[in-house]
Amino acid sequence: MTKRLPPSEEGITRAAALLRAGALVAIPTETVYGLAGDASNGEAVAAIFDAKGRPSFNPLICHVDSMEAAQRYGVFGDAAARLAQAFWPGPLTLVVPRRESARLSPLVSAGLPSLALRIPAHPVARRLLASFGGALAAPSANPSGKISPTTSAHVLAGLEGRIAAVLDAGPCAVGVESTIVDCTGETPVLLRPGGLPAEALEQALGQPLARPQSAVNEVNPSAPGQLSSHYAPGKPLRLNPRTLPPDALWLGFGLGCEGATLNLSPSADLREAAANLFTMLHTLDAAPGAAIAVAPIPNHGLGQAINDRLTRAAAPR
Ligand code: TXA
Ligand code: MG
């Protein structure tokens, strides 16, 4: 049985104790719920891969509560330091060279010489990290390849009985995962569009972000997003179909979608759409209907992250 803990002082203390004992706890962040384990404990990290059924080559993000902690584990060059200063705590993950002295399980970064770090902004995540006192490895709290969870109900639908507890702080505000920037080379590279728009990062850096060589790299994915089919609902998903397939559910965006089953944002607000995305995909996946058709989403700001997730959800499996 998976325990449901409240976001009170007592709930947070119990979650921290479970984590220190090597157990897995799903935790709220401002982006999506994370499946957390002690990043210094190899068995706990292995249990994360196991609970998710995740391919072992896919490294995890380490969550910390301060820049001092981040610097204990990773080496921050100019670009990484500038981005951390501008956007942490927040929905940004920085991939940096891993410090040799970092006392973390090598499994956290799947044996890579780099490390993905993030300081989340969610107050409950921050209090938990402070109470736990170390780094928490946490991928999104969903079975591998499935839709990311933005509520504790989503977490339990996928992982009930496989994890010790879920710390329930209600729905996540951002609703898509963090933006991932690789700062290990000369030019920072946008590995995954996410909750922080690329435009904001480029403005803080004063230079454009590089894009990965190829958007789809099945052989050696360095971000999950690079597996072509990912974030997939059970039903087939079609993007912007010219005609609505019979028996399809329709996920709208903006005006002109009056007949839609659900609308990501009737007022065409990308922030609202991002926050609704995974919840609505979960709902449509569970509803009667043969397929899901999605209205076009503008491809700027958070629209890039939304379209990235939708393209993968629609990819051939
Ligand atoms: O918003 C988020 O980022 C959520 C919350 C829980 O923080 N977490 C999340 O984790 O989305 P996950 O594991 O589903 O996606 C993180 C991805 C990994 O799949 C991996 O491909 C990439 O980050 N990553 C981690 N370490 C990396 C590294 N050393 N080099 C390149 N990519 C890395
Ligand atoms: Mg994920």
Q: Indicate whether residue 58 lines ligand 1 (CB < 6 A).
A: yes
Nearest ligand, CA of residue 309? 2
- Taking ligand 2, which is a single-atom ion, which protein residues have CB atoms under 5 Å away? 140
Percentage of the chain exceeding pLDDT 90? 70
Residue 231 contacts residue 306 (beta carbons within 8 Å) = no
C-alpha 289 to ligand 1 mean position (Å): 32
Give the per-residue pLDDT at 300. 84
Give the per-residue pLDDT at 221. 47
C-alpha 255 to ligand 2 mean position (Å): 30
Q: Is the pLDDT of residue 191 over 50?
A: yes
Residues 237-314, CATH architecture: 3-Layer(aba) Sandwich (3.40)
CA distance 20 to 203: 39
Q: Which of 92, 180, 191 to mutate to test the pocket of ligand 1 (most atoms within 8 A of CB)?
A: 180
Q: Indicate whether residue 109 lines ligand 1 (CB < 6 A).
A: yes
Q: Is the pLDDT of residue 91 over 60?
A: yes
Tens-digit pLDDT profile for residues 217-243 = 444 445 544 445 556 788 999 998 888
Buried b (16+ CB within 10 A) or exposed e, 263-275: bbbeebebebbbb
Q: Indicate whether residue 36 lines ligand 1 (CB < 6 A).
A: no
Region 112-134 average pLDDT: 96
Q: Between residues 256 and 154, which one has the greater pLDDT?
A: 154
Tens-digit pLDDT profile for residues 18-43 = 999 999 999 999 999 999 999 999 88
C-alpha 281 to ligand 2 mean position (Å): 15
Q: Between residues 152 and 59, which one has the greater pLDDT?
A: 152
C-alpha 140 to ligand 2 mean position (Å): 4
Longest dimension (CA), the chain: 58
C-alpha 145 to ligand 1 mean position (Å): 13
C-alpha 192 to ligand 1 mean position (Å): 9
DSSP β-bridge partners for residue 93:
180
C-alpha 243 to ligand 2 mean position (Å): 31
Region 155-172 average pLDDT: 97
Conformation bin of residue 300: beta by default, left when phi > 0, alpha when psi is -120 to 50: beta
Residue whose CA is at the smallest distance from ligand 1 atom 3? 178
CA distance 98 to 126: 22
Residue whose CA is at the smallest distance from ligand 1 atom 7? 34
Residues in the chain: 317
pLDDT band at 301 (very low <50, low <70, confident <90, very high): confident
Full-model pTM:
0.84
Q: Indicate whether residue 29 lines ligand 1 (CB < 6 A).
A: yes
Q: Is the pLDDT of residue 317 over 70?
A: yes
CA distance 130 to 119: 12
Q: Indicate whether residue 60 lines ligand 1 (CB < 6 A).
A: yes
Q: Is the pLDDT of residue 137 over 50?
A: yes
- For the chain, give the mean pLDDT: 90
Give the per-residue pLDDT at 217. 44
| Ligand 1 closest atom vs CA 118 | 7
Q: Indicate whether residue 226 lines ligand 1 (CB < 6 A).
A: no
| Ligand 1 closest atom vs CA 61 | 25
Tens-digit pLDDT profile for residues 197-218 = 999 999 999 999 999 875 444 4
Give the per-residue pLDDT at 215. 47
Q: Which of 177, 231, 302 to mutate to test the pocket of ligand 1 (most atoms within 8 A of CB)?
A: 177
Region 78-102 average pLDDT: 97
Where do the domains of the chain lie?
A: 3-205, 237-314
Tens-digit pLDDT profile for residues 127-136 = 999 999 999 9
Tens-digit pLDDT profile for residues 62-71 = 999 999 999 9
Fold classification of 3-205 (topology level): DHBP synthase (3.90.870)
CA distance 129 to 211: 32
